Amino acid sequence: MNEYTGLGVMSGTSLDGIDIALCIFSEENTKWNYKIEEAKTYPYNDFWINKFAHAHSLNSLDLMKLHKEYGFYIGRFINEFLENAEIKVNYMASHGHTIFHQPEVGITFQLGDGAAIASETNLTTISDFRNQDVILGGNGAPLVPIGDKLLFPEYAYCLNLGGFSNISYEKENKRIAFDICPTNTIINNLSKKLNHEYDKDGKLAAKGKVNNALLHELNILGYYQQNPPKSLSREWLWSLFIPIVEFAKISTEDKLRTVYEHISYQIAQSFDNIENHEVLITGGGAHNKFLVELIKKKTNNTLVIPSSQLIEFKEALIFAFLGLLKIQNKVNCLSSVTGARKDHSSGIIYNF
């Protein structure tokens, strides 16, 4: 039985920081096993949060400079993370930080140059996982479902409550997956208006009341009528979703409570009318007790909340796995999920 040791590096839309997970994978009788040996989040400082906020408006030269700068920045954190590691790492895989995602016009861009990371760390580096899928006519997202399928086959659904919530499940021998709705991005946005970085346990939202007019307006957004494959983007959030919330003439607490109702409703709808199964919930929103309770009330499925380590680092774990599949030239991107013309092995490898 062969073992493979790799790093997964993830930066999500919630801007919490850089997640790094040291993972060990093994395959036995076509079944994959995994272990997160060590994991850590390096929070972003105000400098980088500001950089990300304005990156989409940079000219092409300055964006490319930032692309390199962020790659070296990631590399320095990896070196720090591995300083006392007793296990030899074979490779690292980085998602990068999404700046543009417009698959309908063939564009997606994740900040964090893989060549810079490889140069800084002297590790074989896999990055740029989304671009090839978009070129093949896919959404370039979500990418995690191949990991859900192969690493977590015991769960009927894998639900991630991140900046956007997304879901993955098997249907008629195909993996189906899609972004559901904005989650931590909009919750954090409204929480900051109440002088909180985030809504701990949903306590802020619990003070508000559901506004049915706003709830209806959010629920009839065109995206929710589309069939998968489909994905959401920062552009969609700021051009369509947030203006509706901001226009509502109600208190911020009521907006927050209504957004929670919207999120829990859309998530319950995404369970495809299959009930009495187990749902693995990960991502930062899994810690939000009020949100989880609202979802629970709207479904007969059993919600499974795993260890804090898996909640926080599942995406980094799976990107490490995607990197391994790429190195082995195995499929790591499913056309049934993204809508691409074919299954394929995505990502660019930089050998050092």
- CA-nearest of 290, 272, 93 to 183 is 290
Q: Looking at the structure, do residues 303 and 256 belong to the same domain, yes or no?
A: yes
Q: Looking at the structure, do residues 338 and 272 belong to the same domain, yes or no?
A: no
Query: What's the length of the chain?
Result: 352
Q: Looking at the structure, do residues 301 and 199 belong to the same domain, yes or no?
A: yes
pLDDT grade for 117, boundaries at 50, 70 and 90: very high
Q: Which of 22-26, 158-162, 270-274, 298-302 has the lowest mean pLDDT?
A: 270-274
Q: Looking at the structure, do residues 181 and 90 belong to the same domain, yes or no?
A: no
Q: Give residue 57's pLDDT.
A: 94
Amino acid at 259: V
- Confidence check: pLDDT of 352 > 80: no
pLDDT grade for 226, boundaries at 50, 70 and 90: very high
pLDDT grade for 149, boundaries at 50, 70 and 90: very high
Q: Give residue 14's pLDDT.
A: 67
pTM: 0.91
Q: Looking at the structure, do residues 74 and 184 belong to the same domain, yes or no?
A: no
Query: What's the chain's average pLDDT?
Result: 95
Q: Looking at the structure, do residues 125 and 17 belong to the same domain, yes or no?
A: yes
Q: Looking at the structure, do residues 172 and 320 belong to the same domain, yes or no?
A: no
Q: Give residue 274's pLDDT.
A: 66
Higher pLDDT, 12 or 143: 143
Q: Looking at the structure, do residues 120 and 188 belong to the same domain, yes or no?
A: no
Q: Phi/psi of residue 42, each to 5°? A: -105, 105
SS3 content of the chain, % helix, strand, coil (to 5): 45, 25, 30
What is the mean pLDDT of the segment spanning 301-330? 97
- Confidence check: pLDDT of 133 > 80: yes
Q: Looking at the structure, do residues 115 and 7 belong to the same domain, yes or no?
A: yes
Q: Looking at the structure, do residues 288 and 172 belong to the same domain, yes or no?
A: yes
Q: Which residue has the tokens 């700021």?
A: 238
Share of the chain above pLDDT 90, in %: 89
pLDDT grade for 339, boundaries at 50, 70 and 90: very high
Q: Looking at the structure, do residues 166 and 304 belong to the same domain, yes or no?
A: yes
- Confidence check: pLDDT of 247 > 80: yes
Distance spanning both ends of the chain, measured CA to CA? 26
Residue 296 is encoded by which pair of tokens? 């629970």
CATH number for the domain that contains residue 292: 3.30.420.40
For 21-72, the pLDDT digits (tens) are: 999 999 988 899 999 999 999 999 999 999 998 999 999 999 999 999 999 9
- CA-nearest of 201, 189, 163 to 294 is 201
Q: Looking at the structure, do residues 174 and 280 belong to the same domain, yes or no?
A: yes
The number of folded domains in the chain is: 2
pLDDT grade for 296, boundaries at 50, 70 and 90: very high
Give the number of other Cβ atoms within 10 Å of residue 25's Cβ: 21
Residue 18 is encoded by which pair of tokens? 């850089």
For 77-104, the pLDDT digits (tens) are: 999 999 988 899 999 999 999 999 999 9
Q: Give residue 16's pLDDT.
A: 81
Q: What is the extent of the structural domain holding 224?
A: 146-309
